Amino acid sequence: MTVTAAMFYLFAVLTVGSAVLVVTTRNVVYAAFSLMLTLCSVACLYVMLHADFLAATQVIIYVGGILVLVLFGVMMTSGKLDMKLRMERGRLIPGSLVGLILLALLIRIIYQSPWQVQDTNMLESTTKSTTQSIGESILGQYLLPFEIVSVILLVALIGAVLISRKEVKEIEES
Amino acid sequence: MDNIGSLRYFLPELILILFAVGAIILDLIWRKSSARRMPWFTLIGLLLAFVAVLSLRPEARLASPSLFEGMIELDSFSLYFKALFLVSAAFIVLFSIRTTEIASVIRGEYHALLLASTVGMCLMASASNLLLAYLSLEMVSISSYILTGFRVRHARSSEAAFKYVFYGAAASGTMLFGFSILFGLTGHTGLREIAASLHQLFQDATPGVSLAAIVATVFVLAGLGYKIASVPFHAWSPDVYEGAPTPITAFLSVASKAAGFGLLIRFFYTGLAEPITATTTWSVIGDLDWQLLLAVIAAFTMTTGNLLAIQQDNLKRLLAYSSIAHGGYMLMAVLLLTQSGMQATLFYLGVYLFMNLGAFLVVILIADRLGSEDIAAYRGLSSRAPFVAFTMTVFLFSLTGLPPFAGFIGKLYLFAAVIESKLYWLAIIGVLNSVISLYYYVRVIKTMYLDEASTETPLQLPALYRVLLFALVIPTILLGVYWNPLYQWAAAALIRS
């Protein structure tokens, strides 16, 4: 086993293991911290795929931004949200049965399908930064999706303001 | 075509985005008078965009350019859909002016979101790239979530928005997974390139392609099926339709559904099918038999929608289930891959717009006056508001598919297309479903005409509602006797793959 493969399996186990912990733990803070581990390991996987820009973005946005927000949210609502998360176990068996069948199907697809793979050796390929080509694509071929994303974000922003403002109003009046 | 050159053909969407941003800014400037002025401002935007759409028609037919480096298509097909979206958005703006349900909370944001949603729909109908298809779907979804939960301190409205978000997230996640399989197989995100690449893969009989392609199709169908509310992805729609403000319900059931069909047709006809002769008929690529899959879904969608509609006592909920059933009727013609099937679907979408918006307008009106959406509230409506009762009868008969109304012609074309493709079992299920639907539509009509009203006081109709009812009932009747113009437009709008 090469070093690359060993590292890949390390990060893969970390990703999946901590993701399982996120959904199984009953403590919100633990869940948030395991989520951080998941997101960081995914960033490491990106690095191994030579997607350096993506990895940096993942760390800055998900780990640095969203996760800190989640933790803040937990902190601010502590006491209110200190409830035990109840998990419904009634549908555990049919749910996992469907999940397992789907997993088997997907594994079969992953191994059987003729994927379009670029045949480059990871270690030998030139370690060129992807930032430049991403920048060029965003202002070239992918300009329209890029601009549309900005409109979507605007819509989401307005929505968030609208919904939170309602709650403020309620508190003032009550 | 390159980005700068494409801008000229992107005018309708640009106008809509401009007015959406304008609505937010002007809301701050106008303040108190905003509620009065904003609907008309929005209508001007929609009208300008409509003019822009019409002005692009000749160019779309001659050149049919692919815009923004192959991200969207400008063809008659997308323009037909854009016209549908703009017309229904304009009706929704007019519906929202007087309704007590949301009039008190309406601000510039409501109109901005409505316009943004319309932009998303326009993009859905013209997207020819998986990336843009996903983004446009999200744009429509996100603005719909917010519009659904727009009512302040309204438990049902919030619950509806909540359910909608969760279903939507799961559905679009599944769809993205399907996209990723397709991308992995073909190495492209453009629908045409995907079709060419799949064609090659099937021709070389590469092992493992069929299974992966079928799973990808089913996954993508989760996202598209959720937008058109087809079984088994329909469970959100009754609750969302009931909880959302009624004008928004009408918008979701007409425009959002049409957008779903636009993207579905584009995805299946361009990405997973290839033309046999020039522009008339298509065939599926390889042995990817998605036609049977869609046929089964269509049959289940119609039947489930109709059987559940029978049990409803809330008219808004009843219309939600009937809207699921209508999705099934249209899906039946979409999967045929023939020219007549496509034409019938497009025509039916146009007809459905008027009759369904009409039915919802009556619901808004009665809920406004009587404060109830239950069928019981419609008792003796014929003596209290004869005009409303008459128009509702027209809309419901048209939805059933009875002559001489537009719905009859629409259904006639749908069934004729199905029979032409020799899918007799599907046509029989469709006809049986229409008979079932007659029962619950006529039950409403019976309540309005034969049951005694508790009071005889006539209902006052605001002039605006009277005008709107006229504007919707006239096309519903007229298209039943003189449908050629719309049918010809639908014929001209056939997709080119």
Digits of tens for pLDDT over chain B (497 positions)? 788 888 888 999 999 999 999 999 998 898 778 888 899 999 999 999 999 999 988 877 766 678 888 889 888 889 999 999 999 999 999 998 888 777 777 778 899 999 999 999 999 999 999 999 999 999 999 999 999 988 867 788 888 998 999 999 999 999 999 999 999 998 889 998 998 888 888 888 777 888 888 899 999 999 999 999 998 888 898 999 988 999 999 999 999 999 999 999 999 988 888 777 655 567 777 777 788 889 999 999 999 999 999 988 899 999 999 999 999 999 999 988 888 898 999 999 999 999 999 999 999 988 888 888 888 888 888 888 889 999 999 999 999 988 889 999 999 999 999 999 888 999 999 999 999 999 999 999 999 898 887 777 788 888 888 999 999 999 999 998 888 888 888 888 776 64
Q: How buried is residue B476: exposed, middle or buried, by Cβ count under 10 Å (0-12/13-18/19+)?
A: buried
For A24, A25, A122, B491, the CA distances from A87, given in Å and listed in that order, are 9, 10, 43, 54
- Determine the pLDDT at residue A140: 86
Contacts of B112 in chain A (CB under 8 A): 158
Give one DSSP letter per residue of B335-393, joined into a string.
Answer: TT-SHHHHHHHHHHHHHHHHHHHHHHHHHHHHHHHHS--BGGGGTTHHHH-HHHHHHHH
- Determine the pLDDT at residue B11: 92
Instruction: Kindly list the residues of chain B whose beta carbon comes within 8 Å of any beta carbon in chain A.
Output: 3, 6, 17, 21, 24, 67-69, 71-72, 109, 112-113, 116, 119, 123, 129, 131-132, 135-136, 138-139, 142-143, 145-146, 149-150, 152-153, 181, 184-187, 201, 206-209, 211-212, 215
pLDDT band at A173 (very low <50, low <70, confident <90, very high): very low
Tokens for B247, please give them. 């004008």
- Determine the pLDDT at residue B391: 93
Q: Do B186 and A140 touch (CB under 8 A)?
A: no
For B22, B115, B247, B485, the CA distances from B16, given in Å and listed in that order, are 10, 6, 20, 27
Q: Do A113 and B184 touch (CB under 8 A)?
A: yes
Please report where in the chains the tokens 């020819």 appear, as a residue.
Answer: B128
What are the domain boundaries of chain A?
3-126
Instruction: Give, to the nearest 10 degrees, the angle between helix B424-449 and helix B290-310.
Output: 20
Tell me how crowded residue B268 is: count the other CB atoms within 10 A of its CB. Answer: 23
- CB of A143 within 8 A of CB of B68? yes
- Determine the pLDDT at residue A49: 84
Tell me how crowded residue B74 is: count the other CB atoms within 10 A of its CB. Answer: 22
Collect all residues with Cβ–Cβ distance below 8 Å to B488 and sequence separation of at least 6. none
Q: Do B135 and A149 touch (CB under 8 A)?
A: yes
Collect all residues with Cβ–Cβ distance below 8 Å to A87 and sequence separation of at least 6. A26
Q: What percentage of chain A exceeds 90 in pLDDT? A: 36
Within B286-314, residue ranges assigned H as helices are: 290-310
How many helices (H) and strands (E) would you count in chain B? 22, 4
- Determine the pLDDT at residue B156: 84
* Entry pTM: 0.91
Tokens for B475, please give them. 């096309």
Q: Do A154 and B123 touch (CB under 8 A)?
A: no
d(CA A46, CA A36): 15
Residue A172 has pLDDT above 60, yes or no: no
- Determine the pLDDT at residue A131: 85
d(CA B405, CA A133): 57
Contacts of B136 in chain A (CB under 8 A): 148
- For chain B, say whether A140 makes contact (Cβ under 8 Å): yes
Of the candidates B89, B147, B78, which has an alpha carbon nearest to the alpha carbon of residue B118? B89
Distance between the two ends of chain B, CA-based, in angstroms? Answer: 17
Tell me how crowded residue A16 is: count the other CB atoms within 10 A of its CB. Answer: 12
Q: Do A116 and B131 touch (CB under 8 A)?
A: no
Give the nearest chain B residue to A102 (CA atoms): B215
Tokens for B116, please give them. 């943004």
Tokens for B17, please give them. 């985005």
d(CA B478, CA A132): 59
Please report where in the chains the tokens 């603005």 appear, as a residue.
Answer: B143
This complex has an ipTM of 0.89
CATH assignment of A3-126, among 1.20.120.1200, 1.10.10.10, 3.40.50.460, 3.40.640.10: 1.20.120.1200
- For chain B, say whether A13 makes contact (Cβ under 8 Å): no
Tell me how crowded residue B210 is: count the other CB atoms within 10 A of its CB. Answer: 17
Helix (H, G, I), strand (E, B) or coil at B453: coil
- For chain B, say whether A163 makes contact (Cβ under 8 Å): yes
